[in-house]
Amino acid sequence: MARKRFQEEEEAAIDMTPMLDIVFIMLIFFIVTTSFVKEAGIDVSKPEASQAQAKPSANIFIAIRANGEVWMDKRMVDVERVGANIERLLAEQPTDIVVIQADKEAKHGTVVKVMDQIKEAGIDKISIAAEVE
């Protein structure tokens, strides 16, 4: 009689190992498939536009300050090195859109130089960020 009761208790145990295996596999899957956004690293005062529209999300952001500093991936970059940095970021994570966050006091020439570097890196879709009025 005692032997029968022991077998019933043993069968009632739940093995958690398969569930933990599935959870860890899902965690690895989500980590691998996550896309990381390469932010510029600074806040700029964007110009206002009445016709501003929300664009599809981009992975590469370039910020241009009023004094002409260009920021990518949370560090200041020389204007001539923007193309090389974009190529490096594209090797890590391919994208077809780059967003320029230019300060409303930034010089037009600096923005055009940055746009030329982006085109040389092989990206045709360039968006310029603006605030909605």
User: What is the reported pLDDT for 115?
Assistant: 93
Rg (CA), the chain: 25
Query: Which residue, 71, 87, 83, is CA-closest to 120?
Result: 83
Element (H, E) at 82: helix 82-92
pLDDT digits (tens, 9 = 90+) for 94-122: 888 888 989 889 998 999 999 999 999 98
Contact (CB, 8 A) for 59 and 36? yes
Element (H, E) at 120: helix 108-120
User: What is the reported pLDDT for 2?
Assistant: 56
Residue 10 binned pLDDT confidence (cut-offs 50, 70, 90): low
Q: Above 70 in pLDDT, residue 126?
A: yes
Q: What percent of the chain has pLDDT over 90?
A: 28
- The mean pLDDT value for 85-90 works out to 89
Two tokens at 3?
């032997």
Residue 23 binned pLDDT confidence (cut-offs 50, 70, 90): very high
CA angle 118, 35, 96 (to 5 degrees): 30
